[in-house]
């Protein structure tokens, strides 16, 4: 145990480890905030679909040899978020079918592109790291850290400013509309924020595991608390703790960062589930 602590202390000397912790905590915080809304609005599958779209975006960026793939991936993901939301309201194509189409299509298309055009010698390694998170979290530059900090501040600020509106449109859309709240605009805002968060979180856990980062803390918190505010705060706290623990464990044990964080999230969920069961008996 002591050994692990001294090892962590040693690693802390390195800026890249500190960067990884900062970025990891911020991403975990942002992704947990909207988790409650996503789960309750039955939007969680949109997160899943978007992460596959982001994967497709990364594939295109790598084929085009873009140095900063964020510039391409972010707009593509935002556009798809808006499109998915539109079709979700349209009764002609069922929302979930549209999401399945776009997400599986993007996944296949992305892999195809990477396969045909990739000049890399380690193709399956590239694909794997895009899907499951790469070590790129450990190779962040100061600039990337600042970008992440800035985006996180914006996301948290928007969430706080629109906290009450987000509650209104999540709890009862019909009532919100009748009270003059612009439900469509806020749904759009929620979709755009999700897109930003997903692109941010790609670096941390990879596109396959993002949904876990968004959904697990919310589900855990919903076992324990009963008001919207306490569930939101609790899920943010749980998510940050899981991310910290996950990153530290992965450093000490040498496990992949993304899947370790998600594993911790799952463990936390089970602990919360057990606590709620014990409380009810």
Partner 1 sequence: MALIECKDLSVGYDADVVVENLNFKVNNGDYLCIVGENGSGKSTLMKTLLGLQPPLSGKIETGDGLLPNEIGYLPQQSNIQKDFPASVWEIVLSGCQGRKGIRPFYNAKEKALALENMEKMSVAGFKNRCYRELSGGQQQRVLLARALCATRKVLLMDEPVSGLDPKVTAEMYELIDSLNKEGITIIMISHDIAAAVNYASHILHIGGTYFYGTKEDYLKSNVGRFFLSEAGEGGLANA
CB of 174 to partner 1, least distance (A): 6
- 175 scored as a contact of partner 1 (CB under 8 A): yes
Stretch of 124-132, 158-166, 245-253, 262-270 contacting partner 1, by CB under 8 A: 158-166
Residue owning tokens 């592109």: 113
The DSSP code sequence of 103-122 is HHHHHHHHHHHHHHH---S-
Q: Give the one residue of 40, 63, 83, 100 binding partner 1; rule: CB under 8 A.
A: 40
Q: Give the one residue of 194, 222, 238, 272 binding partner 1; rule: CB under 8 A.
A: 222
Q: Give the one residue of 168, 191, 203, 246 binding partner 1; rule: CB under 8 A.
A: 168
Q: CA–CA separation, 170 vs 109, rounded Å?
A: 33
Stretch of 13-21, 134-142, 177-185, 236-244 contacting partner 1, by CB under 8 A: 177-185
What are the residue ranges of helices labelled H in the chain? Answer: 2-12, 15-33, 35-40, 44-63, 70-89, 95-117, 123-132, 142-161, 163-171, 173-178, 183-205, 210-224, 228-253, 257-280
Q: CA–CA separation, 66 vs 62, rounded Å?
A: 6
Q: Give the one residue of 176, 208, 210, 215 binding partner 1; rule: CB under 8 A.
A: 176
- 277 scored as a contact of partner 1 (CB under 8 A): no
Stretch of 49-57, 107-115, 165-173, 200-208 contacting partner 1, by CB under 8 A: 165-173
Rg (CA), the chain: 19
Name residues whose C-beta falls within 8 Å of residue 136's C-beta, 6 or more positions apart in sequence.
129, 203
Stretch of 109-117, 148-156, 218-226, 247-255 contacting partner 1, by CB under 8 A: 218-226
- 86 scored as a contact of partner 1 (CB under 8 A): no
Q: CA–CA separation, 262 vs 166, rounded Å?
A: 26
- 163 scored as a contact of partner 1 (CB under 8 A): yes
- 161 scored as a contact of partner 1 (CB under 8 A): yes
- 135 scored as a contact of partner 1 (CB under 8 A): no
Q: Give the one residue of 165, 188, 233, 237 binding partner 1; rule: CB under 8 A.
A: 165
Q: CA–CA separation, 81 vs 190, rounded Å?
A: 9
Residues that bind partner 1 (CB under 8 A): 36, 40, 160-165, 167-168, 170-172, 174-181, 222, 225-229, 231
């Amino acid at each position: 145990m002591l050994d692990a602590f001294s090892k962590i202390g040693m690693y802390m000397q390195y800026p890249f480890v500190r960067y990884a912790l900062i970025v990891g905590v911020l991403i975990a915080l942002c992704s947990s905030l909207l988790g409650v809304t996503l789960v309750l609005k039955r939007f969680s599958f949109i997160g899943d679909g978007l992460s596959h779209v982001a994967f497709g975006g990364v594939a295109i960026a790598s084929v085009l040899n873009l140095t900063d793939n964020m510039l391409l991936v972010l707009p593509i993901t935002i556009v798809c978020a808006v499109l998915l939301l539109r079709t979700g309201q349209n009764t002609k194509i069922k929302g979930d079918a549209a999401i399945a189409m776009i997400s599986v299509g993007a996944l296949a298309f992305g892999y195809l592109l990477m396969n045909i055009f990739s000049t890399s010698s380690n193709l399956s390694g590239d694909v794997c790291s895009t899907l499951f998170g790469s070590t790129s979290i450990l190779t962040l530059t100061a600039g990337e850290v600042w970008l992440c900090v800035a985006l996180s501040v914006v996301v948290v600020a928007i969430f706080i400013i629109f906290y009450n509106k987000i509650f209104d449109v999540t709890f009862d859309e019909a009532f919100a509309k009748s009270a003059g709240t612009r439900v469509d605009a806020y749904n759009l805002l929620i979709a755009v924020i999700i897109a930003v968060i997903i692109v941010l979180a790609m670096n941390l856990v990879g596109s396959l595991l993002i949904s876990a980062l968004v959904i697990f803390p919310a589900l855990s918190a919903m076992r324990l608390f009963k008001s919207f505010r306490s569930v939101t705060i609790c899920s943010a706290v749980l998510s940050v703790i899981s991310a910290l623990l996950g990153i530290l464990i992965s450093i000490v044990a040498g496990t992949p960062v993304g899947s370790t964080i998600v594993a911790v999230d799952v463990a936390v969920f089970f602990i919360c589930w057990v606590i709620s069961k014990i409380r009810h008996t």
